[in-house]
Amino acid sequence: MPPSTTKPSPLTQPPAVDAVLQFVNTHTSGPRRLKERFSNAQTMQAWLLENGLGTSATHVTEADAAGARELRDALITVLLAHAGDKDITPEVLTETEEYLRGIAARYPLVTVVTASGASLTTAQTGVPGLFGTVLAGITELAQAGVWNRLRACRHQPCHFCFFDRTRNSSAAYCGTRCGSQASMRAYRQRKKELATNADLT
């Protein structure tokens, strides 16, 4: 990860975004993902090879795949909170943050200092190195002040993750289709509640 010396515009997607989104958008939900990429050791190893993150010699265990799913799902919970999802309560978010602190302790990062700046990178290889790279990317985004612009689509069951480029940081859905479907569902729910209340009076 190259050293960072200047803070990018909130509308500019920093390079670290790609590594984080590549990891979190491996779940079955979303408009562009047809299958779970971390369902087992074999599918995770295939994903690593496809994305140039490993070789045929990279050893992946079932525990690695389970750990990847847990880390990914925890990050999606945070990204849903960034998008203002009301299902992510303070209690859920606190529990998730505690889990992520534990993960960060297991996959430590090291500081690389150069004449032009400093950056964090993973100290490990293989699957642990992947987890460390994701955490390093998140740290870089937080330091740049744009971590909260990484979001997960609030529309159930999409949860596709994206970088919010809106000027007022207001994006809650990955696209207009999900936004329209969510609005229609909310309208139907309000209509149903009004009808129920009318029947009770």
Q: Are strands 150-152 and 117-122 parallel, antiparallel or unpaired?
A: unpaired
Which residues, other chains included, contact 180 with Cβ-Cβ below 8 Å and sequence gap of 6+?
none
Nearest CA to 82 out of 156, 186, 161 is that of 161
Say if residue 161's pLDDT is above 90.
yes
List the chain domain ranges. 16-200
Q: Is the dihedral of CA 8, 9, 15, 21 positive or negative?
A: positive
- Which band of pLDDT confidence, cut at 50, 70 and 90, is reported for residue 23? very high
Lowest mean pLDDT among 59-73, 89-103, 114-128: 114-128
State percent of the chain over pLDDT 90.
68
DSSP alpha helix (H) spans, the chain = 16-24, 41-50, 62-82, 90-106, 126-143, 176-200
Which residues, other chains included, contact 153 with Cβ-Cβ below 8 Å and sequence gap of 6+?
30, 83, 159, 160, 161, 162, 172, 173, 174, 175, 178
Average pLDDT over residues 195-201: 62
Tokens 């299902």 belong to residue: 87
Average pLDDT over residues 68-91: 97
Say if residue 86's pLDDT is above 60.
yes
Does the domain at 16-200 match CATH 1.10.3300? Answer given as yes
DSSP state, 7? P
